[in-house]
Chain A
Amino acid sequence: MEIKINHLTRDFGRKRALDDLTFTLPKGVYGLLGDNGAGKSTLMRILASIDHQSDGKVRCDGKDIFKMGQDYRNLVGYMPQDFDVYPSFTAVDFLQYIGALKGLTKRELADRVPKALEFVNLESVANKKVKTFSGGMKRRVGIAQAIINDPEILIIDEPTAGLDPNERLRFSNIISEMGKDKIVLFSTHIISDIEAITDNVIILNQGKIQKQGKVADLLFGVEGKVFAEEMEPENLIEFKAQYIIVRIRQDGKRVMVRYLGEKRPQSKICEPSLEDYYIYLGSDMHE
């Protein structure tokens, strides 16, 4: 199975949210990275067939997804970035409701709802009202509903937002494993999550694909350009004017600065990360 996106464009009035995107998603896990307003959620909504493109085509195994209609939606599991649940619903009610809409039979629901709750570690609060859940628990319910129909295409917007560190780690591993036999597309603001989950990344910027490829290939572009140096905090202002700062870490009375640029006498060369590359992409160095 593969999804082919051809010249996909989405306009909202005069604003172009997606601008002539073309790429292919075979089975695997893909991390979608970009600033706010880059078009990540719009792209995901179109792939989930809840929004319509202004131009271009999205095909699943050669067929237009909007013409496939419910046959396509039967393949999809989708979790939006922001959602709430009906106040009177328990976690079980919500999963049964969405499961029924996904066409699951009574027997399938009886089998899959407990499994999905166990999967997201919510079986102990299965019959509690979702409105009493924390933000992280609600996201776990969201993930449970997305996977309840065992979808072949899983689209999850910010899956790890609001999760505690243990859950985040667990989900990262689970999503990573799912890529063996599914197409999994997830977006995140947490760059380290992408590195932890997948080696395929798509970077969007102002509705266009800025870069797409294997993380290792992308990092090659910043090889030998990432350094770290310990310095006095008062030197930081002058330093910032000359170099692109990736991160500043307080280290006692001194600061440890990770930066992009040239080697300095006191600096040490670093192994580049996706975060370094992302900063590099948005900088003058890349241009």
Chain B
Amino acid sequence: MNRFIYLELKKIRNKNNLAICVLFFIIILVPLFYYARVDVLDDKGNVHSGIGGWSILQERTAPVEGVMTTEYLFKMREHYQNSVDKAFIEGEVDTERNLGVKLEFPQNQLHWTVNFPYHRGRTTANNDFNLTDEQITNFYENWGNSFYDHLSDEINYFPYTKHQNELISEKMKSVQTPFTFKYNMGWQFLKIDLSWTLYIFFIFLSFVLSDSFSKDNIKGIDQIILSTKESRRKLINYKVRAACITSTFAYLVYAGMILIFIAIVYSFHGWDIPLQIGAKCFYSLNLLQEGIIYILMGYFAAIVITYCILFLSLLLKRGRVVLAISIIYFCNVETYKMGTGEIIEKVNIFMPQNFVEGLLDIENLFFVEDMILPYVVIALGLGLLYISFFKIAMKLLMKNYYLQ
């Protein structure tokens, strides 16, 4: 490694930043634990609460796992009719819990998928399995045909034209069937946990990197640096590379922490089942492949944010101002993200914080003529555009950088 980059890293690696690192990783764990709380039933109908419930759920899902052939679906309907869950799902037993956590059932995603052609994803509260023989027999055909209507009448923030709806619908019809159903909560929570904690990780990056170009960081050092030959030419590259190495290392720790948490609490069982279980998507990928895309996009977003922080640091030359702006921005976007509405959705697609949201979903597609682009492609394009802008702007700023 270049000696200068090593020394830049040594600058970043100090006791303060180590303490900030520990503090932030503790803060990140809070939402992970909070959203891991669950209420589940055991085979006898007793309710179990807490994060240990996921292992009970996994055990109870094992008997209903399988390839979703017609025969399997009939069996599952029968299984449901005789299960302890039915009374809870259909409201015969009160399912509201003291802390507002609702019961999680082993067949939730299976039922959501099989009910989709008939309820189009609207059944979440009473996710039963009371389909007719005909509905079960024609499940895949009905499933493939249901998306045109779904996209036409669903509140859609990126409304498609009739032709675009047809294109998407055709893609959905060509999805490989039959699906396979398995317990897969680890993969669902990988996306949820990334979405809920990525902004905290970005604030951590702001703490560590906001001083990168600040003149108030170390008294008078900028005077020495700016008088050197490479100060305006290579310094940016050196600092960017050191900051990216720091962000990469921090992201590995952050993502590693989430993955370990998921492995312990939810498990990574069900990695090989298709995306279509629990999601509206026409790509023939399994949950492992989707998870890798989300983790890589989280990393990409972190690199975009790294460039953004360095740019602000160079522009404003005040670490604390950069930090304050970053905190306000990330927290506001996070609050904004929780809301719904056309404007929110349209603005959010530009935010790097959103680069781990609905990456492959059919409600987030973009069109170039008849070519369909998932949001992941748009996010990559936007991110590369941002990076290019920050790179050019930093070079211009540094070229004309004088102390006063």
**A interface residues (Cβ-Cβ under 8 A, vs B):** 12, 45, 48-52, 69-70, 73-74, 76, 78-89, 93, 96-98, 100-103, 106, 109, 142, 145, 149, 155
Contact = CB atoms under 8 A, between A and B. Distances in A.
Contacts of B402: 50-52
B235 interface: yes
Given A51-B402, A100-B3, A80 B228 contact: no
B125 interface: no
Contacts of B7: 89, 93, 96-97, 100
Contacts of A149: 229
Contacts of A145: 224
Nearest to B13: A88
Nearest to A72: B229
B11 A101 contact: no
Contacts, number: 98
Nearest to B218: A84
A79 B231 contact: no
A106 B1 CA distance: 11
A88 B14 CA distance: 6
A100 B232 contact: no
Contact of B227 (A50, A82, A100): A50
Given A50-B402, A96-B7, A78 B220 contact: no
Contact of B224 (A49, A51, A83, A100): A83
B4 A97 contact: yes
A207 to B, nearest CB: 15
A83 B234 CA distance: 22
B38 interface: no
Contacts of B225: 98, 101
A50 B4 contact: no
Contact of B403 (A45, A70, A98): A45
A108 to B, nearest CB: 11
Contacts of B234: 101
A13 B36 CA distance: 59
Contacts of B233: 70
A51 B235 contact: no
Could you say which of B3, B13, B402 has the most chain A C-beta atoms within 10 Å of its C-beta?
A: B3
Interface of B: 2-4, 7, 10-11, 13-14, 218-235, 238, 402-404
A150 to B, nearest CB: 13
Given A86-B221, A89-B10, A93-B7, A50 B226 contact: yes
B224 A102 contact: no
Nearest to A77: B227
Contacts of B222: 50
Given A49-B227, A70-B232, A88-B10, A100 B4 contact: yes
A145 B225 CA distance: 10
Contact of B220 (A48, A69, A73, A83): A83
28 contacts: A48-B223, A48-B226, A49-B226, A50-B223, A51-B404, A52-B404, A70-B229, A70-B230, A73-B227, A73-B228, A73-B231, A79-B224, A82-B219, A83-B219, A83-B221, A84-B218, A84-B219, A85-B218, A85-B221, A93-B7, A97-B4, A101-B234, A102-B228, A103-B228, A103-B229, A103-B230, A106-B3, A149-B229
Contacts of A82: 219-220
Contacts of A89: 7, 10-11
A86 B11 contact: yes
* Pairs of residues from A and B, 7 with the lowest C-beta to C-beta distance, nearest first: A83-B220, A101-B228, A78-B227, A100-B4, A80-B223, A50-B226, A48-B227
A225 B57 CA distance: 102
B230 A101 contact: yes
A81 B224 CA distance: 10
A89 B14 CA distance: 10
A12 B227 contact: no
Given A48-B223, A83-B224, A102 B3 contact: no
A118 B205 CA distance: 39
B232 A69 contact: yes
A78 B223 contact: yes
B218 to A, nearest CB: 5
A86 B12 CA distance: 10
Could you say which of B219, B227, B234, B402 has the most chain A C-beta atoms within 10 Å of its C-beta?
A: B227
